[in-house]
Each structure stands twice: as C-alpha cells, then as structure tokens.
Structure 1
C-alpha cells in the first residue's frame, strides 16, 4: 500500500518566535498541491495570528511553495516543527473552516492507496469549485428532521417480513439486490430508500442525471427539506451550496451522480449504489476510480446496498465469497418470454403490445445500414481506401465511414452486382421495417444525442439503443440483435448486454410478452426464464479466474511513448508477479501496455506505478498515462 502522509524533512528545529504567529498550536501541517507529482507531501507552515481560529484541520489554504503560491489542505496543528529551514507563513484560507472532515480525508487516503495517483486529484473530484458568496449561508444551516415511522406494506409483502425487519433495523446491511421484474424499478428503489432513512442518513449514487430524475420527484416530495441533490450536472453555485449543506447539515437523503460518492456522512449511514455496472460510475481521469470500489472502502459501520437489474462480475464475486448477501425477489408477474426460434418474427409481439400500450424495441446500433454485402456474391462492400461502406438512410448513397467518400453508382468490385444486402441494421432501418409492417403505429426513436427521457402520452413503438430507453412502463418488449450484443470484442460484452436486457425487462408491465432474438438454451434466456439475473454467475466467475481476468486480477493500462513503454515492459517481464500484454502500438508515437496481477497483489502494482511516475517526474520525462481497473480493457 502507499505510504501514509508524512513530512518531507524531519530534523529538529527551534520554533520561530513572532508576535504575528498564532499563540495556540502555531504550526500547521499542510498537504500541498504541488505542480510536480513527486513533490506532493506534507510540509509545515506557520499559522498567522489572524487565522488562528479559521485555519483548522480540514481547511483549504493558500501557501507559498518555491517561487509561487499553491493550494494546501491543513491536516494537523501542533506546537513545533521538525523541519530544518525557516518556516514560511500561510498566506490565507481559501475555504470555510473545517470544510473537509477527518472521515473524508481518511476515505480519500484509502482510495488513493487502491488506485494510485495523487491525493489532490481525488480531492478535486470530491470537492466542487468554491463560490465564495455561498459561504455566508453556513451559519444558517440547520439539520432537518425526517420521518421515523414510515411503513410500506407492499414492499413488506414482496421482500418478506424478515428482510423488511432488517431494512428498518439498526444492524449493518451488505446486500446485493436484483430489481424485481414486473414492478416499476423507481418505485421499488424509492420504497427501500424511504424505509432505510428511518435508521440514519442515506446516500444514493446513480449513474447519470436521467436516473436521478427518475427518482427525484417522489423522494423530494416525501423528504422535503431533508432531501439534497448533488452532482456535476448542477450549476456551479448550486453544486457548491448543496455541498456545504451536505457537509454542515445532516440531510436524511442525498442523491448524487458519481462525484458525490465521497460525501461526508454521519455514523451508521447507508450508501446505495444503483446499477454499478453502468459505465458512468467510472471516473475518466487518470488513474481512474469507480463508485463501487470507493463505496466498499467506506468505514465498517456503513451499510451498503447495491441495487441493479444485473450486477457486475465484481459484485457477483463478493456474493460468491459471502461478503455480500444476494437478494432476489420474485413476484407473480405473468410475463411470457418467447424466442425467435423456428423463424418466428418479432412483429407479432409488437402488434400485440401496441394494442394495449407502449412497446419497447432495443437495438444494438444507431444508423441505417452499418454494414452491407453484395446481394449476389456476398462480399463486403468496401471503399478504395479500405474502409467499409455504410448507407445512412433509405434514399442515401453508400458512404465510406473512413474517408466519407460517396459512391453514387456503387457496384460490387468482385462481381459487378449493384444490389446491396444489409447484414448490420441500424435503428433507422429497423424503424423503417416496423413502419411498413404496422403502418398506423406511432414510432419513436431514442438514440445518441436525441434521447427521449420519458414516454409521451399515447401508444408508441419506441426503438432505443443501449442506455437510451425512455422511462416508463411497456406492454411488450422486443430485444433485437442479441448475437451482435453478446459477441462484441469486449471484456464486458456479455456482462453489459445482460445488464441492458434485464434493465429493459424491468420496464415491462405484468402479463406482457417479451421477444428475445436468442436461442432458448442461451444462458441469458435461461436467466430471464428464472427471473434471476445472477443465475449462471458462478460459471462465468470460474471462466474469468482461469483466464486471469477481473474480478480475480487487477488491471492497469499504461500509455506512453513507444520507446519508454518498451523499456518498461522489458523490465517487468523479469518478474513472475505480473501478466504482461503488449506493448501494442495504437498510433505512430505511442504504445499501450496491459498489466494484470492477482487481486491480493494489487497494492504492490499500484505502488510500483506510483514510483515510476515519480521517477519520471524527477527526470523530467513525460509521465505515463495510467488507468487502474478500467471499465474495459
């Protein structure tokens, strides 16, 4: 593990004397945000007399460092210093006093030890930009009260009296909950939140603003002033103001996107992570972190509820070893699963559904004809530059996806035939075919930058790509492109496809028909028939372990110049502790290296990469770009 924060120089020196220095604990230990990563550390500074009361533990300050002024965080106050040279004076405070609690600092240290990088990069993720005018509201902040008597008979009937009793009890919970099929997911999650709030604070981490809005209205009406919203989607002023409320008040419920995962909570609180497999839970900046692992690193008295339509392999491993308790609640929903075997078409499912309400059709890709062949000889249609040709719309000409060249008079370069045969339909082509089969149906498309957040009034056939499904309930569900989704060249292809399909399945009404474009014997179809998304996880985990892949191995992806990456790879190959893949060139000047190490040795890998970055900084070399435990390899 990375070493704890400590002083850079440790030699005894006399305490400087000055009438301008604070009388009580005149020396502050300050974690300095230096422009050079290898100099990050704790340095001693004198506390001016006029800042004696405000420059306390957890306060951001401005301090001189070298020939410039930088940010710092006070992590201690004391009577004297062991640093040998004359101490410099803190210039000013740059945050409210005690803005960062000791619990948050300790939590950030644990996260830094797991993912590497600098403490300040994590602190900047946890702390929104200051809006000084909002600081004056701190004195007016009061802790709101919440209901301690709420009951939910419907939820009790679904989950049983035993689990219901534990949910409203004081004991620590460590649950992995599958969203039940046939019940509105937002209602189910909201009921769990309301009940758990009886026992203490609840922090809910959602993937994105769309998920937040799906929960917000009901919860805000219920909790009133005890409801708080956090996240980068808020304006700068509102984000900082709400952060102050979360820090200096104790709202019963905080709902946030990824950045709120570090929020300071009272003792015996509950953290709920919704859909941990969603990519939005992963921080994009190096070295990267994810809300699942950050939540797992909270204090041992914090309850953890992971709620998802289908859990990640990391959560499945924790269930398998008994660290998390699996909760799968079934109800009599009357949902019928049918497959495309024996040439059955999905159109009948669409017609049946549109007669009763809305229909959701999920597809793998946007666009029209993303890949087509010659109708005669079945050779792929390619451009002269080597790129594949695509058809953007019903009346569009074939266009190269690489050079954007249009081929108005396209003919097969092998046999001369001019008729295309589409084998990779996009969402637009599917919408066109459904429109022909059901001429009077209202067809909506939700994809890419043109997403529909909520179902409009009326009856509609909604076509959506992964993650673009409008919130609402559907009378029929069609899951297209199964083979394409489950066969993508990605580590998480099957995992993510199952998550998307079960997420859609949780949107259907009772007694609905669900059409699946996979064979009945496919593992995910069997899981759907059992109404258990975690079914078959044990076999998947065995295969992952044999292949030396996450969640049994930790992974680091390192990007750097071709020469430096090659040298680094050669040095690592002498160690038997690491599985090395690469280097692989991905442009003219840079290469990528993938390092895998057993789970229990992950800390050593993180320390190694931190040391390499510091050495590169000392020698003035370009520092590697490092991603630890990325979403995908």
Structure 2
C-alpha cells in the first residue's frame, strides 16, 4: 500500500503516538463490513433508506415501541411511511431481540418511517409484505394516537385499532371525488337566540379558533345549528369534525349538513353504513376530498385535514366512552385534538356535565347560552309529584300514574302524542317488599331477587328460585316491582287509555320518529323518538330509581336524561307540560323545574372540589383478583401525592351475563382499588401505571388486551360509586 495515503506503514513511521492511534482506528473501521442491513433471506435491499421503522399491531405495553426491518428492493416503491405492512415477529415465548429473529408468524403493522441505517447492529428481518400502498397513517394521526395512549395508560397499537378502520380493497381502488371549493359563510340562523352565537360563527368563518360550551335550547334546532357551525369552519378553508352519540343523531346532523352545505361536502361515519362504505368515506376524508365529518364514537379519530372545528354533542351519553382498551372518552380525545391542531372547539348539549362546567370554570372555554327569557319561551312547563304521593293516590292504581300525571296525559292526548319515560326495560324488575319496600334478597347468596313474567322470583346472582319468600324486616309475604319495565308500563297505560294507540321504543326496537297524532309513546332513556311538531306532554316515571343509584353521577345523569326527554316537548306557550315523579326538593328535580342544568353542574363541581372527587382530581381504577391487585400496587411507583382507596370487593357478575369493561368475568370474585391524585398529576399517574403494567407483561403477566387479563387498569373510570 502506498505510503502517500497516510495509512501504510511507511507513512506512519515518524508519526506521534496520538496520530498512530487515529491511523489504527481508521484502518480498523475501513476493514469492518458495511453497516448495511442484511435480511434473513439474503435478498437485495432498497438502495436508499433500506431500513423501515415499524409499529407492530401488538397491544401489549412492553412492545409499545418501534421495530426496525429491512426493505427488500421489490417493496421499495410501495413501502412508504403510513402504509400497512406485514412482518415476522417473535416465536414461541416471544424470545425476541428487537423483533428481528428469523422465525415467528406474520403480524400486521404500520410503516412509520424509512431510515438510512438501524440502531440495531445485528441482521434485520425483511418486510414480508406491503398490504396496500395506500397511506392510512399520517404524522398527525400518529401523534394523536400517542397522546391518547399516554393519557389513558394504553398502547399506540390499541388506539390505532380504534382509529383506522379495516381495509377494503375495493374501496381503495375507487377514486375519491375532487374536493369542492370552500362554501360561503352561512348566516347566523337560529344562533341569534344565543347571546354570543353569531359572534362564534363569525370567529370560525374568519379563521379563528373559538372554544365554547354550548347549552342548547330545547327543540329540534340543535342539528341545524351544528351544521351552520361546520359551514362557518369550511368557509375559512379548514375542516370540521362533529361526533354524536348514536346513529339517529348522526342522521339528523347529516340531513342538516346536506340542507346547509349541499351534497358532497361531508362524510357520514357510522357503523350502520357497513365496512366497505365506511372505509370508502374514511378514505375520502384521508385523501382530502371531503373536509367535514359527522359520525359516532369512532369518528373522533377521523383524519380531517387542517381542522378548524371539533364539535361534540351530548358528552354525558355513555356511548361516548369507548369499550375497548384503553377506553378513551370522545370528549377527552377532542380536547387533545383541539390543543394539537389549535382549532375551534364546541361542546353542546341540552344539559351540562360537570366536565363541561369545569372547562368554563377554568377559562379554557367560554359559555354559549341563551338569556333566561329566551329559555322560558322555549322550555315546557315542568311539574312535580313525589313517589310518596304516588303511593297514597288511589287514582294511581290503574296505571301507576298519580292524578296530576294522569290529567296531564289526558289533556295532552287531545292535542298530540304523549311521551312516557321509564328507567328500565322489559319484565326483569328487581323486587321489594310491598309493605316496607325493603329490597328483596336471596336467602342463599343475598343477591337481588328478580321477576320474569309471571313466574316465581329468582336470584339475579345465583339463579336460586324463591318460592316462599317473606320479608325479614316486617314479615310481609307480598312483593312489588321496584321498577316496572317499558313493555309492562305500555300494557298498563293501554288499559288506562283503551282508545289510544300505545307505542314502545327501547333496546330491541328503537323508534326514530312518531307522527304528531294522539298516541302514548313509552320509551326508555335515550330511546325517545322525535315527534312531529313536538310532544304535547311528557311523563317521567320512577325518578327515584335513577336518583338512588349508588354512583357519583346519579343526579347528573338523571337530570340529563330528563332534560333530553323534556326537550322534545312543545314550549309552555304552546301547552307543553312535563310531569316528573320524584321528590320535588332534590337538587336535580329543582334544576329541571327551573331548566337550569348549568347551575346544577356548577354546584356539583364545587362540591366535588371540596371532596376531591373527579373531574377536579384525576382517578384511576385497578381491578382483578384481590391478591393480584395488591401485588400490582406494590410495584407501581405512584406520584408522591397519590392516594390509594381500597381494594374493595366488586359485585359478582351473574353467570350467563356478559361482563362490562372493568367488571369481573361471570362468577369470579374481583376487587378494585381507586388511585386519586390532585390536579396536575394525572399524566404522572398514567405514566406510572403504564410502566408497571408493561413491566408485568414483560415478565409473563397477562397483557392489557382481551378478556383473560388478571389486572385491568382504567383511567377516569365512569362509575366510582
């Protein structure tokens, strides 16, 4: 070798020791093989950026990171960031070093980025397949998924399962329509009924990002008002996203958007559309062909480009809480999107949740309300009768209706339909002593007794039949239903009003609309159909049943359900009347009479602040076998200010009945611990729980996905009663 290049022996003869060391290091590096990744097949690699960083679809926390794979030359063109891929991952007991061993089955994943080299020094396995060249995961959606996963102590893979719909090849092959130019700014319309309504629309149309909590007036105008807010955001050249609780509400907003914007400017994302149509609509949004979206819960992740507005209707509805891990709530996801995209935010409802009141109280959002005289003009007259009056009223024996409610129904039926809301469905009410109303319990396991049609009462836990029950408190032998279901109520009302048609709306069959002709409409909460021209009257029965639930949100939920039903009734000046059967002195009942859900939420927020309850504090629930929960809590490095409550036993899920998220599988005895931290420590709590769960799954504990897990962690549990 020539001495002139400084690397041969001759050129190094008179060099100082430091230079000799540098020369030796240069020679050693020159003799090393190139750091280009090799595949287990030895196939040719892409010449540029031959390393793909992949997020594998494994919803276990200790694998919540990226893995490097080599890009074969034949996949170079299609293997672009955001596409779906398939890779070989793990084998046997997942003894994987960085996911790069040669064996293992094929699993799905997303290609996150292409790189020139890998941080891993060994051989890389190759991408097995590019499922589709269609990029479905953008940087914005990935960032949102990471933020939601951190917020709820979950994995990004689990969030992406919720955010990206399953692929349909035929939908991908169909081209999306060309985007339409922005529409003109809409007029205020019925937004003039609100003190700051027109100003909110003007700010959106001008490219601003106003944030508001909207207490909507009763009546059907709310869907058109949402559509005008969307039109204002589109007029600024930006996109808009609206999330509603169910398909019926989505259909109303869909019709309103079509009326305000015309055809082709928005997409409807609901499960009712079917997988292929829904994916086709989702792709149109992802490709930028459509700039506005209305949909149900899964639409919270819709990849709308250049968001100008995120809107949510009725955030207190249970449907907004995702049932799959890590169980995010739509409201919290849209709050994250508003912060991430710096866009407008609109939270609307006839009622008002404590979380909505907190947004206004903190100054993050402004109130969007109507003046009191406007509320009085649009709200129905609300009258009360207590459950004690119902028991003493001889007229109530015909159909459980006190005289006041019976008269209101009879008068309302002269002018239109009458809505009857009952808080339970079917013929499976819980039983109580007919004399002292002590709940009837099983002598075998102390579970609640239930009645099925005309048969003997049975235990709701163990199925034991109680043929000779007697009350241990007063010795009586007669039972009564604590709550009578919708079908039985319909039968009783049919006997009380024999010449009037009776319709029911509930889980098995939900009516969307009913004619404006006289009829009795018996409905469970949330299934109330809209009447043409509004209901002439509404009867809200068994109010005590909703108020007596052992849950922190019992009063808030009862008021929200009552107001949702009463909002379908005609205004007081048109004769609309609502009768609620509940104790008149209770706060939710008084809030309904005054039609003041905001005041009720503000008072609830103040009380929860004093007691340290959510949403003022942040809380997490850890559930599982009591010993497992106790061991898990020992391993968690909780924030210093964290307070652990429990663990305490959870009610046993009866055999044959599916368990809800956070509840034990049927027949198993579980316990739950609550962890509470003050404001500002929620992120630290979530990070600590996620780290402990990841360490546990890495050691062989059951993971965070599926029914077989033995420890379940949930941030912000909805029921902490």
CA RMSD in angstroms comes to 3.0
State the partner residue of 1:567: 631
Classify the secondary structure of the residue corresponding to 2:191. helix
Classify the secondary structure of the residue corresponding to 1:283. coil
Classify the secondary structure of the residue corresponding to 1:508. coil
2:367 corresponds to which of 319, 326, 339: 326
1:439–1:621 CA distance, 2 compared to 1 (3 A)? same
My pick for the range that moved more, 148-157 or 576-585, is 148-157
CA-CA distance at 1:180 after TM superposition: 0.5
**8 Å CA contact retained: 2:422, 2:523:** yes
Q: Distance in 2 between matches of 1:491 and 1:607?
A: 26
**8 Å CA contact retained: 1:33, 1:40:** no
Q: TM-score, normalised by structure 2?
A: 0.79
Classify the secondary structure of the residue corresponding to 2:578. strand
State the partner residue of 1:207: 245
Q: Distance in 2 between matches of 1:177 and 1:466?
A: 22
Q: Could you list the per-position Cα deviations for residues 446-478 of structure 1 after superposition, in whole angstroms to 9, with x for gaps in the alignment?
A: 223232222146321112121111123211122
Q: Distance in 1 between matches of 2:70 and 2:515?
A: 62
Q: Could you list the per-position Cα deviations for residues 468-527 of structure 1 after superposition, in whole angstroms to 9, with x for gaps in the alignment?
A: 111232111222222321221112211211111121122112221122234554333443
1:416–1:260 CA distance, 2 compared to 1 (3 A)? closer
Q: Distance in 1 between matches of 2:353 and 2:682?
A: 19
My pick for the range that moved more, 177-186 or 379-388, is 379-388
Classify the secondary structure of the residue corresponding to 1:64. strand
My pick for the range that moved more, 443-452 or 396-405, is 396-405
1:591 corresponds to which of 671, 695, 699: 671
2:701 corresponds to which of 616, 621, 632: 621
**8 Å CA contact retained: 1:573, 1:580:** no
State the partner residue of 2:86: 62
Q: Distance in 1 between matches of 2:143 and 2:428?
A: 53
1:370 corresponds to which of 424, 429, 442: 429
1:276-355 → structure 2 map (5 Å cutoff): 276-298=315-337, 299-330=340-371, 331=374, 332-333=377-378, 335-340=380-385, 343=389, 345-355=404-414
Q: Distance in 1 between matches of 2:680 and 2:439?
A: 47
Q: Could you list the per-position Cα deviations for residues 580-621 of structure 1 after superposition, in whole angstroms to 9, with x for gaps in the alignment?
A: 122223465543222222231111221222222222222212
Q: Distance in 2 between matches of 1:403 and 1:561?
A: 20
**8 Å CA contact retained: 2:59, 2:157:** no
1:580–1:43 CA distance, 2 compared to 1 (3 A)? same
Q: Distance in 1 between matches of 2:56 and 2:595?
A: 52
1:13–1:505 CA distance, 2 compared to 1 (3 A)? farther
CA-CA distance at 1:72 after TM superposition: 2.7
**8 Å CA contact retained: 1:201, 1:252:** yes
Q: Distance in 1 between matches of 2:433 and 2:448?
A: 12
CA-CA distance at 1:154 after TM superposition: 3.7
1:527 corresponds to which of 580, 591, 606: 591
State the partner residue of 1:118: 155
1:96–1:450 CA distance, 2 compared to 1 (3 A)? same
CA-CA distance at 1:382 after TM superposition: 5.0
**8 Å CA contact retained: 1:347, 1:434:** no
Instruction: Find the structure with the greater CA-based Rg.
Output: 2
Alignment of 1:177 with 2:214, yes or no, is yes
My pick for the range that moved more, 60-69 or 102-111, is 60-69
CA-CA distance at 1:192 after TM superposition: 3.4
Q: Distance in 1 between matches of 2:216 and 2:299?
A: 23
My pick for the range that moved more, 207-216 or 515-524, is 515-524
State the partner residue of 2:555: 494
**8 Å CA contact retained: 1:210, 1:453:** yes
1:433-512 → structure 2 map (5 Å cutoff): 433-456=492-515, 458-472=517-531, 473-511=534-572, 512=576
Uncovered stretches (5+) of structure 1, i.e. residues with no partner: 1-11
CA-CA distance at 1:414 after TM superposition: 8.1
My pick for the range that moved more, 543-552 or 40-49, is 40-49
Uncovered stretches (5+) of structure 2, i.e. residues with no partner: 1-32, 90-100, 390-402, 653-667, 704-710
- Larger RCO (alpha carbons 8 Å, 6+ apart): 1
My pick for the range that moved more, 126-135 or 585-594, is 585-594
My pick for the range that moved more, 527-536 or 109-118, is 527-536
Q: How many residues align?
A: 620
Classify the secondary structure of the residue corresponding to 2:378. coil
State the partner residue of 1:102: 139
Q: Could you list the per-position Cα deviations for residues 398-451 of structure 1 after superposition, in whole angstroms to 9, with x for gaps in the alignment?
A: 555455566678776888866545554333454344334433222222223232
State the partner residue of 2:184: 148
Q: Distance in 1 between matches of 2:356 and 2:577?
A: 30
1:209–1:157 CA distance, 2 compared to 1 (3 A)? closer
Classify the secondary structure of the residue corresponding to 2:55. strand
State the partner residue of 1:581: 645
**8 Å CA contact retained: 1:361, 1:477:** yes
Q: Distance in 1 between matches of 2:288 and 2:541?
A: 48
CA-CA distance at 1:105 after TM superposition: 0.9
State the partner residue of 2:719: 632
1:163–1:521 CA distance, 2 compared to 1 (3 A)? farther
Q: Distance in 2 between matches of 1:161 and 1:327?
A: 10
CA-CA distance at 1:530 after TM superposition: 4.2
Q: Distance in 1 between matches of 2:557 and 2:85?
A: 44
Q: Distance in 2 between matches of 1:412 and 1:78?
A: 74
Q: Distance in 2 between matches of 1:80 and 1:179?
A: 56
1:275 corresponds to which of 314, 322, 325: 314
Q: Distance in 2 between matches of 1:415 and 1:583?
A: 35
1:504–1:185 CA distance, 2 compared to 1 (3 A)? farther
Q: TM-score, normalised by structure 1?
A: 0.89
Classify the secondary structure of the residue corresponding to 1:625. strand
CA-CA distance at 1:307 after TM superposition: 1.0
Classify the secondary structure of the residue corresponding to 1:582. strand
Q: Distance in 2 between matches of 1:63 and 1:532?
A: 56
Classify the secondary structure of the residue corresponding to 1:425. coil
